[in-house]
Amino acid sequence: MGNLAAALHMKGDGDGALHWWGRAWAAGNVVAGFNVGMLHAVAGDANRAQVMWEKAAALGDPDAMLGLVKQALERGDTAGAERWAPVILAQDEAFPITALGAAFRDRGDLQRAVRVFPRAEELGDGYAMEYRARILAAWGRHEEADALRARAATAERML
């Protein structure tokens, strides 16, 4: 059901995708819950997206957690962001951790971003290394930035 929904979504059939992701969610597919939330977010319904993401995040979906953090940051809700950020950091998936650091960076919170990226770097993510290197270079910490860039050049790119 989830694969059918993804195929429909790629063809531009949002209603069909919503239907099949909704059925997959009802059948216990946590990733489908994230995707239903994403469809609501893209449609401009942040409240429905948040409800779906809360449910999927409670079941352990790191992408739903990240969606909730991004929503909280957009609202200026530090407590909302802090609720899920530690849970994302505790996981062993580099992509959501790197995306969390990027979310903080994009909101101008470079201090938090610089504290988040090393966790993804521990998992081998070259993107996290590059992102942190850019911030360090902007702060004038060129030696550290160059060392990170050298590590990033041979590191895996997590997607």
Per-residue pLDDT tens over the stretch 4-53: 999 999 999 989 999 999 999 999 999 999 999 999 999 999 999 999 99
Unique residue bearing structure tokens 């790197």 = 98
pTM of full prediction above 0.85: yes
Residue 138 token pair = 């902007």
Count of the separate structural domains present in the chain? 1
The CATH number that applies at residue 159 is 1.25.40.10
Mean pLDDT of the chain: 94
Give the domain range for residue 125: 92-159
State how far Cα 151 lies from the chain centre. Answer: 23
Unique residue bearing structure tokens 């030696």 = 143
pLDDT score at 122: 95
Q: What is the mean pLDDT of residues 76-100?
A: 93
CB of 37 closer than 8 Å to CB of 52: yes
Residue 121 within a domain: yes
State how far Cα 106 lies from the chain centre. Answer: 13
Residue 1 within a domain: no
